[in-house]
Amino acid sequence: MPNWELVRQDFSELRQTMNGERLAYLDNAATSLKPKSVIERLLSFYQQENANVHRGTYQLSFKATEEYEDARKVIQHFINAAAAREIIFTRGTTEGINLIASTYGEQNIEPGDEIVISLAEHHSNLIPWQQLALRKKATLKYINLTSTGEIDLADAKQKITAKTKIVAVTHVGNVLGNVSPIRKLAELAHQNGAIIVVDGAQAVCHLPVDVQELAADFYAFSGHKMLGPTGIGVLYGKQKLLEQMPPYQFGGEMIEDVQLDNSKWDQIPHKFEAGTPNIAGAIGLATAVKYLEQVGMAQVKARDAELMAYLLPKLMAIPGVKIYGSQNPQQHVGVVSFNLGTLHPHDVATALDMEGVAVRAGHHCAEPLVHSLGTNSTVRASLAFYNYQADCDQLINAIKETKEFFKGELR
């Protein structure tokens, strides 16, 4: 078992006060904090190792190229991809999903085809498919959710048919924190000749992820939600699919040969990495992965579960707090959304901030889901393994004080 007190010390951002209070950072689903090793790695890269990759003919460039390509291997092993060339560096989850919609989608979707997503999707895994369907005169279908916000597998069986070409679902929901049955959905997709795209943005920081075990064809995630820098992300894709797809962007780094009237593309993954990549970002992300591996993803998962098991019953016990989704802590992987009576979530979040508690309020970029919960917005608290029971207590006390403050207006 890691020493959580020592782990916490690696996150210097936690050592400050906010509005004169101890900081309880509970907005990890928006972005995670960065450990010392990641910050120091970025600094040392820029101080001593900065050079462009792949084309250099000098030591610094060889070294930068080696570090960048090693980062790819670190990611490959982290998610158990079959080969490093199945790892494409992107700007984040959003870019990864847009890449698939604009390449695989453009190439394979025809009028009358169907794309199946779920009602739980973040806009990043909704709008690219919606727009592709509009461009191609295809149909976008939504898998319904159960009363606790889980993917309704019986409905998925109805919606995924021989007409389906793409199934795209989130692994862990960013509003309710529920885990989707990816393996079962992948089987349904494959039985019908479709591919499955998984939005892993909220999963990689909470669960051990094995893309082969999940049978995912594509799996997209963001570095900044898993201790890494912003502006770097990963798209995993099965080699056979990536090889058949056209490039996403054109320019330097992605070509084998350029003639006046035509060009040939480089092999994967370079075919999908046009232009100078985010070299420091990839190296920083690999450092973040090594940090997670050192803590251990099984321990991260257990710690999240332990904190949620502590927090959820206390939240539920406050009269006037409405929890969305399941009442079972195990079905809230790091995330819980709630409202406090009729108070506006933005007012609640502002009041919590006054007590040093950082949470998010709004539709969390998942408007269809939040509307299906019967509201326009919620307050969302999201945990990471470096949180403490003290952060949960601070949230609970701050909610009670907010309730007291607004007691005249609370219904």
Please state the closest distance from residue 406 (CB atom) to ligand PMP, in A: 28
d(CA 341, CA 327): 18
Interface with ligand PMP, residue 94, by CB under 6 A? yes
Task: Look at strands 24-25 and 357-358 and give their pairing.
Answer: parallel
Interface with ligand PMP, residue 90, by CB under 6 A? no
d(CA 198, CA 399): 35
Report which of 383, 19, 397, 54 is spatially closest to residue 225, judged by C-alpha positions. 383
Interface with ligand PMP, residue 281, by CB under 6 A? no
Task: Look at strands 263-265 and 255-258 and give their pairing.
Answer: antiparallel
Interface with ligand PMP, residue 170, by CB under 6 A? yes
Give the angle subtended at the CA of 158 by the CAs of 153 and 159, to the nearest 5°: 95
The stretch among 34-42, 52-60, 86-94, 190-198 that binds ligand PMP (CB under 6 A) is 86-94
Instruction: Report the residue number, 31 or 108, with the smaller CB distance to ligand PMP.
Output: 31
Beta strands in 150-268 (DSSP E): 164-170, 195-199, 218-222, 233-237, 255-258, 263-265
Among 35, 81, 92, 380, contact with ligand PMP (rule: CB under 6 A): 92
Q: Which residue stretches of 296-388 are H helix? A: 297-316, 345-354, 367-372
Interface with ligand PMP, residue 229, by CB under 6 A? no
Catalytic residue chosen out of the listed positions 24, 172, 349, 365: 365
Task: Tell me how many residues contact ligand PMP (CB under 6 A).
Answer: 14
- DSSP structure class, residue 325: S
Give yes or no: 365 in active site: yes
Q: In 10 A of CB 175, how many CB atoms?
A: 26
Among 99, 151, 201, 215, contact with ligand PMP (rule: CB under 6 A): 201
Interface with ligand PMP, residue 28, by CB under 6 A? no
Distance of CA 60 to the CA centre of its chain: 33
The stretch among 10-18, 72-80, 122-130, 324-332 that binds ligand PMP (CB under 6 A) is 122-130
Among 28, 76, 102, 124, contact with ligand PMP (rule: CB under 6 A): 124
Please state the closest distance from residue 146 (CB atom) to ligand PMP, in A: 19
Please state the closest distance from residue 90 (CB atom) to ligand PMP, in A: 9
Instruction: Report the residue number, 171 or 238, with the smaller CB distance to ligand PMP.
Output: 171
Instruction: Report the residue number, 185 or 351, with the smaller CB distance to ligand PMP.
Output: 185
| Exposure string for 63-78, b = 16+ CB within 10 A, e = fewer | ebbebbeebbebbbeb
d(CA 118, CA 125): 9
Interface with ligand PMP, residue 234, by CB under 6 A? no
Instruction: Report the residue number, 98 or 394, with the smaller CB distance to ligand PMP.
Output: 98
Identity of residue 209: V
Instruction: Report the residue number, 170 or 287, with the smaller CB distance to ligand PMP.
Output: 170
Please state the closest distance from residue 170 (CB atom) to ligand PMP, in A: 5
Tokens for 317, please give them: 């016990």
The stretch among 89-97, 141-149, 335-343, 399-407 that binds ligand PMP (CB under 6 A) is 89-97
Give the angle subtended at the CA of 362 by the CAs of 177 and 306, to the nearest 5°: 30
Instruction: Report the residue number, 113 or 199, with the smaller CB distance to ligand PMP.
Output: 199
Q: In 10 A of CB 347, how many CB atoms?
A: 16
Interface with ligand PMP, residue 199, by CB under 6 A? yes
Interface with ligand PMP, residue 359, by CB under 6 A? no
Among 93, 287, 378, 394, contact with ligand PMP (rule: CB under 6 A): 93
Please state the closest distance from residue 94 (CB atom) to ligand PMP, in A: 3
Beta strands in 99-228 (DSSP E): 114-118, 139-143, 164-170, 195-199, 218-222
Catalytic residues: 365
Interface residues toward ligand PMP, by CB under 6 A: 29, 92-94, 122, 124-125, 170, 174, 199, 201-202, 222, 365
